[in-house]
Structure 1
């Protein structure tokens, strides 16, 4: 598509957008009496208007049924999570038995590593992306310490080449092969939170398996953002949060994926809880843990029904909008238009005021552009916020802007670029 730097062109794209009306299903915060331009869905998605309705329904059931709500009413809480599975199966590319909804992201990462990081026979190292989100770094560090290893030896971080901002797939795969005999686990984010780079999860998993290691993924910035095929890619496990691109509320409930090939493996350790016990005999309260078959066997604690209700409000919108591929098509154009406008700013200034470090290749990024500000980065970010343009600041000099196809418009992107242009001129 040949883009144009004009309000008329942005409006034309909005009129042609088949997803344009979905914006009306979200609550847009206000700034000086107008909708803000919200480009921070990579950190916290906007609230669906239906969230309150879903929560009120569950509060009403609690009021009228109390404890009997687990078994009575139109949507008994005991099986409520199963209503969310079809949408999630489509979003992450999994069979329904391979996913469940539970806990929060880092807790789930720890629980899964109990099962899938079992160092033995000289295999004890974990390979991960350098500069992963701190929670992943801390989780991995504490896990290797728990097993008696030194993180400086047991954790191999892969960093971009000198002078580059993102990782080359060939370097990731070569590092896995180079340490193959020592690697127990390859653990990568689906998308790097800082650069917005989308990793080649299929090839990473395949190469890990070639050397005898397992492969897991943190999909915090990928789930609901890019098409995923966890079962087809043969990932061993994955986990994600729901409050970013899946709009399920601050601290919203997480989910896990465990490939079906592991469902009947008695050699896997796990930290057990009553909620993961076999469904057909759970209420017999028998001693000795017998897990439910599938990902549900990794559950530990009682399902937080109110969090699941908020999650369902958003997942219903995903189902209405169609496949993740439909969202992806708009996201690619939204992000490409933002990229074009930023490049226009640089051309007009005769200088690279804003360096985009997110990959140029659309197949290697999600709905995010991370830009390095050549000067006055924090002041520019604050200027945008004062104009009602909400992005995300990362020290020392990066602004992350993430247009989300369900609620962002091309006019949003155009107007944000106008303010960025003005900021560059005045600061």
Structure 2
């Protein structure tokens, strides 16, 4: 499509967008008495209006039924999490038995590493990407410390080549082959939080398995943002947070995937708890752990119903839309934002550099923009003028046009605000 940097063209794109109506499903903050242009769904998604209904339902059941809500609520609490199996399995490309919800992301990754990082004297190394999200880095460090290995030996980072912003697939595959029989685990972020690069999860998973390693994925920036096929890709395990692209609320519950090939493996260690015990016998208070079959058998504690209620509201919205429609809008609106950035760059003689891959297959709903010659003052200008975006040192802004609630007109208006911010500095 030949894009145009005009309001009329952007409005026509919105008129043709089958998802445009979903903007009305969300609550937007206000700046200067106007709805903001929201680019930080890769950090915290907006609140869906339907969320309140789901939370109020739990509050009413708690008020009216108290403990009996576990069995007699409109959505009984004791099996509340089971309502996620079907919709979540479609979002991440899994069987319903392969997904569950529990805890939070890094907690779940630690728990999954109990099962899937089982180092030996010979096979103990972990491969991750350079500049992984700090929480993952801390997790790797504490895991290898716990198992008695030296960090500099056990943690192998795949680095970017000099002068490049993204990691090449061939370098990932070469490093996996190089570490070879010493490799216990590959655990990479499916989408790099800083650059927005999407990794070839299918190819990397196969390469890890070829040398005998387990392969897991941190899908914090991928779930609800990338078309995933975790079952078909033969991924061993994965986890994701729900509060970014899936709009479940700050710090909310995490999702987990464990491939069905592991469900009947009695030799696989796990940390056990009451809620992972045989559902039909849970209230018999038996002494010996008998895990639920499937991913639910990795649960430990009672499910936080008030946290799950907004998450359920969101996944049911995803279910009614479908990932194919979301991906089509994602690619289109991200490409339009890319076009707008290049146009403003030309009009202002600036030197923006988009460090996110240009190939749509290697990116999702994020463009990370390196502002050569610009400082934080431009970011501050955007924020004061109703553009909510994200600043990363030294001079990168991350723009995430989430397809559920950003519009093409938002992209056009952002370009005009960005242009005004740059020109105001020039005229001073």
* Residue 261 of structure 1: aligned partner: 261
List structure 1 segments (4+ residues) > 6 angstroms apart after TM superposition: none
Please say which of residues 71-80 and 324-333 is displaced more in the overlay: 71-80
In structure 1, list runs of 5 or more residues that go unmatched: none
Residue 283 of structure 1: how far off its partner (Å): 1.4
How many Å separate the matches in 2 of 1:299 and 1:81?
Answer: 11
How many Å separate the matches in 1 of 2:424 and 2:85?
Answer: 50
* Residue 346 of structure 2: aligned partner: 347
How many Å separate the matches in 1 of 2:337 and 2:189?
Answer: 24
CA contact (8 A) 2:127 2:158 kept: yes
CA contact (8 A) 1:377 1:398 kept: no
Q: Which of the residues 366, 369, 375 maps onto 2:367?
A: 369
Counterpart check, 1:419 vs 2:417? yes
Query: Any idea what SS the aligned residue of 2:280 has?
Result: coil
CA contact (8 A) 2:348 2:419 kept: no
How many Å separate the matches in 2 of 1:88 and 1:422?
Answer: 42
How many Å separate the matches in 2 of 1:319 and 1:232?
Answer: 20
Q: What are the residue-to-residue correspondences of 1:271-286 with 2, within 5 Å?
A: 271-286=271-286
* Residue 333 of structure 1: aligned partner: 332
How many Å separate the matches in 1 of 2:214 and 2:51?
Answer: 38
How many Å separate the matches in 2 of 1:83 and 1:62?
Answer: 19
User: Please, what TM-score do these two structures have when normalized by structure 2?
Assistant: 0.98
* Residue 410 of structure 1: aligned partner: 408
Q: What are the residue-to-residue correspondences of 1:11-410 with 2, within 5 Å?
A: 11-321=11-321, 323-351=322-350, 353-410=351-408
How many Å separate the matches in 1 of 2:48 and 2:348?
Answer: 39
User: Please, what TM-score do these two structures have when normalized by structure 1?
Assistant: 0.98
CA contact (8 A) 2:128 2:186 kept: yes
How many Å separate the matches in 2 of 1:325 and 1:131?
Answer: 30
Q: Which whole-Å deviations, capped at 9, do the CAs of 1:132-177 have from their partners, x for residues lacking one? A: 0000000011001100001111000011100000011111011101
Please say which of residues 225-234 and 375-384 is displaced more in the overlay: 375-384
Report the RMSD for the aligned CA atoms in angstroms: 0.9
Query: Any idea what SS the aligned residue of 1:281 has?
Result: helix
Query: Any idea what SS the aligned residue of 2:72 has?
Result: coil
Query: Any idea what SS the aligned residue of 2:311 has?
Result: helix
Q: Which whole-Å deviations, capped at 9, do the CAs of 1:345-396 have from their partners, x for residues lacking one? A: 2222344x21100000000001000001112331111100000000111111
Residue 235 of structure 1: how far off its partner (Å): 0.3
Q: Which whole-Å deviations, capped at 9, do the CAs of 1:236-255 have from their partners, x for residues lacking one? A: 00000000000000011101
CA contact (8 A) 2:85 2:97 kept: no
How many Å separate the matches in 2 of 1:172 and 1:277?
Answer: 39
How many Å separate the matches in 1 of 2:344 and 2:24?
Answer: 31
CA contact (8 A) 1:247 1:311 kept: yes
CA contact (8 A) 2:196 2:367 kept: yes
